Amino acid sequence: MSSHRYRMDSPTQYGLVCCSVERQKLFYVGHCESTPCFSNEGERTVFPHADSAHTAMTRHRSSLYEVMVFKTALNTFNDLSLSMCQTMLKLLVSGEGMSRTGVMISIPQYPLYSAALADLGAVQISYYLDEDNCWSLDISELRHALQEAKKHCSPRALCIINPGNPTGQVQSRQCIEDVIRFAAAEKLFLMADEVYQDNVYADGCKFHSFKKVLFEMGLEYSEKVELASFHSTSKCYMGECGFRGGYMEVVNLDPEVKVQLTKLVSVRLCPPVPGQALLDVVVNPPQPDEPSYDTFIKERTDTLATLAEKASMTQEILNQVPGIKCNPVQGAMYTFPRIHLPPKAILEAKEKAQVPDMFYCMKLLEETGICLVPGSGFGQRDGTYHFRFFSLYTNKNDEISLGYVCDKCSGVLVQKELMGN
């Protein structure tokens, strides 16, 4: 967590935090011979804690050999979850023509996934999330996408982002069980991007780890389905994006393939030491018997409560704007509202060779200075238009700030030249 969060006025609180800091410092000093810029010390220090944290979450123990610490400082794509995903994809992608590897990814999707597939020459198999049902995942849609893909490639992997980016949905346990059964039946490698797992807001929603559900479904699945799950310090409530640290756990991977995975990871430079230390703090936070535990829990609870309040406010105010429809924000840090553009706006966008939602976002930027990300960059069903909205605005009066943005969004939608009046 950022050091500024511990600049407390109370000497007592400061002393409690220092107690935990001292514990961490002594641990690192005892396990690390030096502190170079890059190091493999994480294998002896962070790995055990990452393993313990994942075990506590899933209630099923991992081999340390299955947990790998990642960095992205020198990678082509400067994003941690993608770096881990891309590493696994390099092992999976092969073949030519009809035998070329196909990878199933959700639409809307985090666009660097499609970029990674293009970079590796893999075939993108798109499956659409159900916008009318709060961006849920429909197994029948998976089956349809898979059958169509088998006509021109060899599907080998299925990627799930939960909680979702950019859609902010949280998949139910039943949905996850159905996905696991589907992957088992179709012999697909499961890739679970779970980097927003702590950010769950909506009533009735709960994060379910794919690994935990997999092992609770019995030996028929727990010893059969191959799974890679990802977590990161760059996301969730801690949000330490600059350090780009995280880990990947693999389950049921063939031992010979594990050897190749280790080689693939080893050709990169070692992760920076500060990022590894931060990851250790994330997976090994203050424990109930430590003096700073209450302070940590209060800060964590307050942070997540603030994020939940902003998510609810975002949904509520966006839905007050004519021409904009926003699904409930269940988790992560984003919402993906749909915009209903007037016919004249769509026609003008086509005349300018622009995607309509890009045209809208550019109009908004030019006339108000407000920058939104057009939904076409994430993928969407034909004839629908969206934008991604980041719900972490930090103005002193967030509601007024968000209201201002929405007023400007509405103003662009109802302009006379766009409405054709």
What whole-number distance in Å separates Cα of residue 96 and Cα of residue 122? 10
What letter does residue 210 receive in the DSSP assignment?
Answer: H
What predicted TM-score, i.e. pTM, was given to this entire model? Answer: 0.83
- What are the start-end ranges of the E strands in 17-84? 67-70
> Is residue 61 predicted with pLDDT exceeding 90?
no
For residues 73-79, average pLDDT: 40
Strand duo 373-374 + 246-251: pairing: unpaired
Q: Kindly report which listed range (56-70, 112-126, 245-259, 355-369) carries the lowest average pLDDT score.
A: 56-70
pLDDT of residue 317: 86
pLDDT in tens, 157-170: 999 999 999 999 99
- Beta strands in 48-206, from DSSP E residues, in sequence order: 67-70, 101-107, 123-128, 154-161, 189-193
pLDDT higher than 50, residue 78: no
Using N-to-C axis directions, what is the helix angle for 111-120 and 80-92, rounded to 10°?
30
pLDDT value for 68: 60
> Domains of the chain (ranges plus CATH)?
32-283 (3.40.640.10), 293-419 (3.90.1150.10)
Q: Identify the band that residue 104 occupies on the pLDDT scale cut at 50, 70 and 90.
A: very high
How high is the mean pLDDT of the chain? 80
Q: Which one is predicted more confidently, 271 or 346?
A: 346
Residue 157, phi then psi, degrees to nearest 5: -145, 155
Residue 146 or 87, more confident = 146
Angle at 347 between CA 343 and CA 348, to 5 degrees: 115
Torsion angle of C-alpha atoms 183, 189, 194, 195, degrees rounded to 10 = -160
DSSP state of 107: E
Token pair 């990871």 in the structure block, residue: 265
**pLDDT band of 47, cuts 50, 70, 90:** very low
Residue with tokens 């709060």: 134
- 206-256 pLDDT, tens digit per residue, is 999 999 999 999 999 999 999 999 888 777 777 667 776 778 888 999 989
DSSP state of 67: E
Contact between 116 and 89 under an 8 Å Cβ cutoff? The reply is yes
Mean pLDDT value across residues 312-341: 90
Q: Do the Cβ atoms of 72 and 269 come closer than 8 Å?
A: no
**pLDDT above 70: percentage of residues in the chain:** 72
